[in-house]
Chains A and B, each alone.
Chain A
Amino acid sequence: MKYVDEFRDAELGRALAGEILASVDPDRHYKLMEVCGGHTHSIYKYGIDDLLPDNVELVHGPGCPVCVIPMGRVDDGIALAREPGVILTCFGDMMRVPGSDGTFLDAKASGCDIRMVYSPLDALRIAKENPDRTVVFFAIGFETTAPSTALTLKRAKAEGVPNFLCMCSHVTIVPPLRALLESPDLRLDGFIGPGHVSTIVGVRPFEFIPADYGRPLVTAGFEPLDILHSIRMILAQLGEGRCEVENQYTRVVPYEGNVAALRVMSEVFELRPHFEWRGLGFISQSALKLSPAYAELDAELRYEVPGVRVADPKACQCGEVLKGVIKPWECKVFGTACTPEHAIGTCMVSPEGACAAYYNYGRYARTRGEEATVA
């Protein structure tokens, strides 16, 4: 397929790996964070870390939309689903995120009407097909997904669909990155920037990273050559003493982002003062809620949701994994009590989660050299 096959070329991949090997200082350790869960998935799917020198370490950031949803928010969704006449709709992986009393799938099994949708537009269609029911779309995701929700809410309002509501848990990427950079227990040399979030917000919002924290960031695509190329670009900056934001994913990401998407988001959403992130705690102005103009479509205003904060299970170390402080296999329950089939932590739920990526691609052992696939 155009724009895909040419970015999986093995010859070019080997050449890039050779350039990376030639560009590193053997006496230095490089710790790079890929912000986006989609990158984490690609890195292990294509074995990219095996092409890197031992002193180039990839750590995994908080950019997995499912992984950062706290347990209390899942409980709130289930409480809404238990309201008479409500159909709760959500994306696929969200169905398996554990709350304090089970997942959406468990609630569905106990009689709640919870349906998986591919897009917010599908949720709106369900509302039109069921005018005697109230359809709540449980919206999650970063700036990549928020415009889609915003467009659907705008469409619902324009078409006058009174039984369509939204419970908004959209989050934004810059505040958690700033929180990570302020964290004393994480020393990073550079960032692989999120590709599709940048399609919407552009690359300008990341300029604070080199300016305020002295770390380079390269926005990258999701194919193997994209990721290798972005690592090569970061290492080149470090080798040359440069520190700036660069854009590897130029075929998709404009410098200013998608202006139409930013406009519709600012019309439909406003920032929440605080929002709880799984494992990261409360981060100021890091999530979106519906603006006053769309209050009539806000499920949290129509229904009373518990809004209780639920502590993560003690055994679960998703917070440390999301901050890149530990590798997934360093968590006590990784691959034993916590597996994709029975996830305790959110990082094991979504394949974009670091734990699931390690588990699904056989990264069970303790060091890269000792890693082995377990059948």
Chain B
Amino acid sequence: MPGECHDDHCITCGDVAEPMRVLRIDSERELALCADGVGSRHTVEIALVQPVAVDDELLVHAGTAIA
């Protein structure tokens, strides 16, 4: 859910990144639908890690895949 922090800390305020799996890709807008470790779905910017394929594991910080 947007705005919700997981675990016991705010993963965005900390320099923490979360592994997520790619479910679907919108190539034109450079966005992907990704699932985190507990299955929650997030819209993720993928411009910095192209090319991306479905089932790839991404490291996501502040809604952006950084690796």
Contacts and interface: CB of A to CB of B under 8 A. Distances in A.
A41 B9 contact: yes
Interface string B27-38: 000000000010
Contacts of B49: 258, 260
Contacts of A116: 3
Interface residues of A, number: 52
B62 A91 contact: yes
B66 A144 contact: yes
A261 B10 contact: no
Contact of A38 (B2, B14, B50, B67): B14
Contacts of A38: 14-16
A142 B62 CA distance: 12
Q: Which of B14, B49, B59, B63 has the most CB of A within 10 A?
A: B14
Contacts, number: 141
29 contacts: A41-B14, A41-B16, A64-B14, A91-B12, A91-B62, A93-B5, A93-B9, A93-B10, A93-B14, A116-B3, A118-B4, A118-B62, A119-B2, A119-B62, A121-B43, A121-B64, A144-B66, A145-B12, A145-B15, A147-B48, A147-B64, A148-B63, A151-B64, A200-B66, A252-B59, A261-B66, A264-B48, A352-B9, A352-B15
Interface of B: 1-5, 8-10, 12-17, 19, 37, 42-43, 45, 47-50, 57, 59, 61-64, 66-67
